[in-house]
Amino acid sequence: MSDPTENTPPSQPSNGSTAPATPPPAMPPVAPYGAAPAYQAQPAPVYAAPAAPSQPGAYGQQQPGPGTFNVLSIVAFVSAFVVFPAAIICGHIALSQIKKTGEKGRGFAIAALVLGYVSLVSLIILIIILAVTFSMVASNPSLYNNN
């Protein structure tokens, strides 16, 4: 009989023969003493998208969108030129709402507050100046009497 290893192709070893040995994997070169080690680049980290707010609004309450503008801040800003006490009150309420809901319009609310308080301080200074002027006129009527 013939030998079973003679009929098998050379790429497929038979059960009784030994397979050719593969060389071990090459070791990376070692850096000389004192040299900085060579590091491989790490892949960039992958971050997840930010989570949506977990607290939905109450039933029937409309949630503001990302570009919603607080209307009360605009009302406060416009009223700063007409009635400053309304600007102060509406400005504080608008800032509170913006803080809770994350709407836009914080700059308008702050500008309304600044204009409102500047108007208030100006009115107080004007009242003081008028009071001093009237008290000077009342105490010295001869200064302004033409007789």
pLDDT, tens only, 69-105: 899 999 999 999 999 999 999 999 999 999 999 899 9
The C-alpha R_g of the chain, in whole angstroms, comes to 43
pLDDT, tens only, 15-46: 555 666 777 777 766 667 777 666 777 777 77
Report the share of the chain in percent with pLDDT over 90: 44
pLDDT, tens only, 4-20: 555 555 555 555 556 66
Residue type, 39: Y
Residue type, 137: V
| Tokens 């605009």 sit on residue | 74
Tokens of 101: 């809901």
- 69, β-bridge pairs: 104
- DSSP-derived letter for residue 37 is P
Ranges of each domain in the chain: 71-99+106-139
pLDDT at 42: 78
